[in-house]
Amino acid sequence: MNHIRNLFAAALAASLVSCATPAPEALPEIEIVGVPGPGPGSRMPTGREMGVRSAVVAPQAAAATAHPLATQVALDVMKQGGSAVDAAIAANAMLGLVEPVANGIGGDLFAIVWDPKTQTLYGYNGSGRSAKGTTLADMQAKADDFMEGKDIPYWGAAPVTVPGTVDAWYALHDKFGRRPMNSNLEPAIQYARSGAPIPEVIAYYWNRSAELFPRGVANGMIEEFDNARKTYFDPPPREGSLFRNPDLANTLERIAYKGRDEFYTGETAHIMGDYFERIGGFLRYEDFAAHTGEWVEPLCAEYRGDYKICELPPNTQGVAALQMLQMLEPFDLRDMGYASADSIAAQVEAKRLAFHYRAKGYADPLFAGIAPEEFIREDRSRLLSSKIDVNTPISDVRETINATETQLITGSADGCKVPDEFDINGGWVLYPPLSDDCQQVVMLQLMDLMTPDAKLQNGDTTYLTVADKDGMMVSLIQSNFRGMGSGLVADGLGFMFQDRGQLFSLDPAHPNVWEPGKRPFHTIIPAFAFRKDMPGCQVRAVPIEMACPFEPWMSFGLMGGAMQP
C-alpha cells in the first residue's frame, strides 16, 4: 500500500511533517447547522467545519494513541523495521506506564489485525477468567458485605480476573511481529526507570482515583493498599510531572527476556498467586497458569451495500454496533440531515433495542449457549427495524423484542415454541429438544423471561491504532475497567489489577452470571471497516459486487463504555 490514509477516532497525538501551502484568496463560506433563532442550540455550527484537527495523511505509516510518547514509540518501532503489531505492543506497554488510569498489564486486551499478505482480518480475545476455586455463593457474600447484595464489589479482590494482556501481546507478536519482544518493550522499560511526563487529563483522573480509593480501604472492600499507595499515590503526579515506576520496569524486563510464560507460570505468576492468598483473595497461581487467550473470527455486517463493519464476538459488546447498523439500514440518515430530530430518534431507538439484547444475552459464548451470529440474523434485524418509528418512541422495549422473537419462532420449524415449563440448572436452562433452526431463538426469548431487570455498567479504557508501510493495520483496545482498576498491586510488580469481574451478574439465570473459570462481559471493542467504491473504483456499468470488491478502509475505535457502539 503506497499511500495510507487512516482516520483515527481515538487520536490524541500523531507525528506529521507537512509542507506549507499558499492561503486561498478567500475563505469558503461555512454552512451553519442548527435551529434558527435565539436560545440554546441556536445556529451553532457543527460537524466537519468545526473540527479542530485535520485528518492525518502519511505515505509510510501512522499511529494514534492517548499519549504523545506512546505515539512516538510506535512510529520509532516502525522506522526501525517493526510491523504495525510490533508498534502497537510497544505503544500499549508505554500507555500502561503513563496512562494507568485506563490500562496496564493487569488488564485485558482485544485486537483486530488486517494482514495484507493473506488479505485476512484476524481477531484476538485477550480476556481473562474468574477464579476456578470460588463459588457464586462466595461472590454473593461479598455483594452482601459491600453492595447491599446487588452487585459484585467494584474494588478489592472479588472482581479481579486473570489479566490477559501479556498473553495477547505474545500471541499477536508470534503471528505478526518482526522485532524481538525485548526490543518492543524496551522503551517502556527505560521510561519507567527514568520517568515520563504526565499530561493534564491523565493527571486529573489519577488524582481523582487518589481521592476515591481510600473509601474502599476504609470500608474494607480493598484488602491491601500499601503497595498501590507506594506505586501510584506517594504522591499522585501533577500535570507535567515525571512519573517513575521501577517495579513495573523490572516486571516488564522479566517478561521481555523470559517470555509470555514468565507472567503466567514464572516468578511473576507466583508473586501474584501468593499475594491473593495472603490478602484473602480468590485467584491462585493455578488460575494464572491455566490462562489462554483465543483467536476469534470477527463478526461483520454490511451497511447499505457499500460498507462492511467488523467487530469481535461476545464476550464483548461489539455485536451491538452491528445490530444497530442492521436496524438503521432502511433509514436514510444522510437524507434526514446531520443531527436532525429524525436521525437522532432512529439511532436512539436502534440503540435501545440493541442494548436490551446486550444486557440480557452478551456473555462468554463457552458458557452462554447462544451463538454470537444469532444476534445479527438478518430476519431478526428486519423485524426490529420495522418497529422503529421516528415520530413515536417505543413504549416498551422488552415487549417489542419479545414480540419479535415470537414472530421468529412462529416462522421457524413446525412445533418450535417456548416450553411451558423449564428448569434452571447450573446458571442456564434445560428444556425439551428443539430443532437447530429454532433452538437459538427460543434461548433468546427465555433469556429475557428469566432476567427482566438485567443491566450493565461502564468502565475506563485506552484505544490505539497503527498502520505500517505494508498496509497492515491494528485496532487495539485495552482496559483495567473501572478507573485504575481494583486498587490492588501485588508485591513489587508495579501494576494494578483490573476489576472487570464486577460486570458479572449474580443472577443464576443470566448468561453472564459469575461462574468459575468464566470470562466476564466486556464493554471494550476494537473495530474495523471495509468499503466499496474506493477512489479509482468508479465503474457503475456492472453490478457493484463485480466492479468494486470490499477494500480495507479504516481501523477505528474509541473509549467510553456504552458510548462505543
| pLDDT tens per residue, range 342-396 | 888 888 888 888 877 777 777 888 887 777 787 888 888 888 888 888 888 776 7
Can you spell out the DSSP letters for 360-413?
A: HH-S-HHHH---GGGGG-HHHHHHHHHT-BTTB--S-HHHHHHHHHHHHHHTSS
CB 413 within 8 A of CB 437: yes
CA-CA-CA-CA dihedral for 288, 523, 485, 276, to nearest 10: -30
Q: How far apart are CA 418 and CA 42, in angstroms?
A: 52
CB 241 within 8 A of CB 459: no
What is the per-residue pLDDT across 51-73, written as a single tens digit (0 to 9) for each? Answer: 566 777 888 999 999 999 999 99
- Strands 120-126 and 294-296, by their bridges, are antiparallel
Phi/psi-derived region of residue 418, left when phi > 0, alpha when psi is between -120 and 50, beta in every other case: beta
Q: With cut-offs at 50, 70 and 90, classify the pLDDT of residue 424.
A: very low
Complete domains list, the chain, with CATH:
4-10+58-294+458-528 (no CATH), 318-450 (1.10.246.130)
User: What DSSP designation does 100 have?
Assistant: T
Continuous segment of H or E residues that includes residue 96:
helix 84-98
| Residues present in the chain in total | 565
Q: How far apart are CA 317 and CA 466, in angstroms?
A: 22
Q: How far apart are CA 472 and CA 468, in angstroms?
A: 6
Residue, of 399 and 310, whose pLDDT is higher:
310
pTM, two decimals, is 0.81
477505528: which residue's cell? 556
Q: How far apart are CA 156 and CA 325, in angstroms?
A: 38
**39 pLDDT more than 60:** no
User: What DSSP designation does 65 have?
Assistant: B
Mean pLDDT of 217-234: 97
Q: How far apart are CA 73 and CA 88, in angstroms?
A: 9
The three grid cell numbers given for residue 128, joined into one nine-digit string: 481473562
What is the per-residue pLDDT across 449-471, written as a single tens digit (0 to 9) for each? Answer: 434 444 444 445 789 999 999 99
Q: Which amino acid is at 505?
A: S
